[in-house]
Amino acid sequence: MKRCIVTGGTRGLGRAIAGALAKRGHRVAVTYSKNDDDAEDVKKEIGALTFKGSVADAGHVRDTVAAVVAAWGGVDVLVNNAGITQILPLALIEEKDWDLVMDVNAKGAFLFSRACLKHMIKARSGRVLSIGNFASERLVEAPVHYAASKSALRGFTEALAREVGRYGITVNLLAPGLLDVGLARMLPQHRLEEYRAQCGLGRTGTAAEVAELAAFLVSDEASFVTGAKIAADGGV
């Protein structure tokens, strides 16, 4: 039984990942920023601990990790899933927009990883999985600040994997394509049709499919996988 934290774990892909981990018998804590009803639903469904706040708030991160450690004695798995985007061209992106997307998508992963790794290093074991996006490396139209933040996670993953591998900790990046949750719901229909036309499988994915892959990547069976970027985009 692993002790897991999933950021942004009350909706969309994060909720599916939390559910997949709970199904495997793991203890799960989730963070969220706004919707208390969603958090209550997740608590009832899988018995998750829930923590409200911004992943870019160092105080919230510190308190959340401390509470999980106090409750369960440690942290074995961190899934950096929390993310945000805006469908805006560069010319209309304000500085505050850029900062918000980078703070949530990149800084949040840094803060939570830093807090959890203190406990993982002590235990000489752990799993860190960050959720990227196919838009960071594919030639597709995507908001610039969103693509930049997700690209930052690739470098973060590769460098951190080398840094902490000596402690038995793996660090990986899972990059989904368009799914039935998240960004796809913000896009116009013609953009979805373009994606399906470029996709080898000819469809968008589901949160459940990607959640199963995430659960594998933080499992003991994936103990020799680290520093990797795994795409789950249907063959774009």
Helices and strands in the chain, H and E counts: 8, 7
3-class DSSP state of 232: strand
Q: Which of 32, 146, 167, 195 is catalytic?
A: 146
Residues 6+ apart with CB under 8 A from 180: 204, 205, 206, 207
For residues 205-234, one letter each, b for 16 or more C-beta atoms within 10 angstroms of the residue's C-beta and e for the rest, the string is bebeebbbbbbebbbeebeebbeebbbbbb
**How many C-beta neighbours within 10 Å does residue 59 have?**
10
**Pairing mode of beta strands 27-32, 229-232:** unpaired
CB 79 within 8 A of CB 14: yes
CB 82 within 8 A of CB 66: no
32 is an active site residue: no
The count of C-alpha atoms lying within 13 angstroms of the C-alpha of 27, restricted to the half-sphere facing its C-beta, is 12
Question: In this structure, which amino acid lies at residue 103?
Answer: D
Backbone angles phi, psi at 170, to 5 degrees: -105, 145
Positions annotated as catalytic residues are 146
